[in-house]
Amino acid sequence: MSLAATYRLGTRLFWRDKAMLFASVITPVGLAVGMPLLMRHMTTGGVAAATSIFHGTLAILLSITAFMNIAVALTNRRDQLVLKRLRASELTDGQILTGQIASTATQTLAMIVVCAVAVRLAAGVPLPANPLAFLGVAAAGSAVLSLLGAAYTAAIPRAELAGVYTMPVFLVCGVSAGAMGPIPLPSWLREVLDLLPTTAVVDAVKTGDLAGPVLILTSWAMAGLVAIKLWFRWEPRRS
């Protein structure tokens, strides 16, 4: 009951914050639909460029709509002592965070589905061959990136720095997944970046192979849970 309440609250606040809507919805959806649309007549190595770039932009959606959105929202609420007030209610810490993570993950998954349909209609990007597997891996990716965004707040000293601190994550995830076009990378770096959760989702969607990506996502989820347990701060630092 209370978990549902925090989920509803998270969803309500997601759609109310106009500044965040621009950053978390309009920008990533614009990129995820706009870039395939611009490249709809191009092919790269026999593959439609629109399809390839759309798969890459899934990393942008995950890193912005899930990771950055929840990191900024939770840091703001932490620094404005809203999290402290929530903890003064009957909610448990787990309910507060789980409701928020589930809400952010759901909005992200919805964005991914909307974009997949939009690029099918506007840019001829084929729908996933296995829709259930696509939905499953997109949902898992959304949940893991939301969880990691919550954990990452521990590294953000103040709310006004949240955007600056999350930007490198967005850039690395985007470059790694090919969302910014083919950028040549050293092989050792390629191997490291392939371990990112966003790259795992993109690889799963591209190849249909789920075993490796699921293992990577599970590892990141475990790391995120441990980080939250050890370092999550409910209040700003006193000094």
**Would you tell me which residues interact with other proteins (CB under 8 A)?**
1-2, 5-6, 8-9, 13, 16-17, 77, 80-82, 84-92, 238-239
Nearer to other proteins, 95 or 176 (CB): 95
Nearer to other proteins, 11 or 218 (CB): 11
Nearer to other proteins, 75 or 142 (CB): 75
Alpha carbon distance 165, 87 (integer Å): 26
Written as one letter, the residue type at 64 is I
Whether the CB-CB separation of 215 and 231 falls below 8 Å is answered with: no
Longest distance between any two alpha carbons in the chain, whole Å: 58
**Residue 95 CB, nearest distance to other proteins (Å)?**
8
Alpha carbon distance 93, 228 (integer Å): 11
Nearer to other proteins, 82 or 223 (CB): 82
**Residue 215 CB, nearest distance to other proteins (Å)?**
34
**Residue 71 CB, nearest distance to other proteins (Å)?**
18
Q: How many residues does the chain have?
A: 239
Backbone angles phi, psi at 2, to 5 degrees: -70, -30
**Residue 18 CB, nearest distance to other proteins (Å)?**
9
Handedness of CA 178, 181, 187, 188 (dihedral sign): negative
**Residue 122 CB, nearest distance to other proteins (Å)?**
33
Nearer to other proteins, 159 or 216 (CB): 159
**Residue 164 CB, nearest distance to other proteins (Å)?**
22
Distance of CA 114 to CAs 117, 157, 229, 235, Å? 5, 34, 34, 36
> Pick from 60, 62, 63, 56: which is nearest to 177 by CA?
56
Nearer to other proteins, 61 or 102 (CB): 102
Alpha carbon distance 235, 220 (integer Å): 25
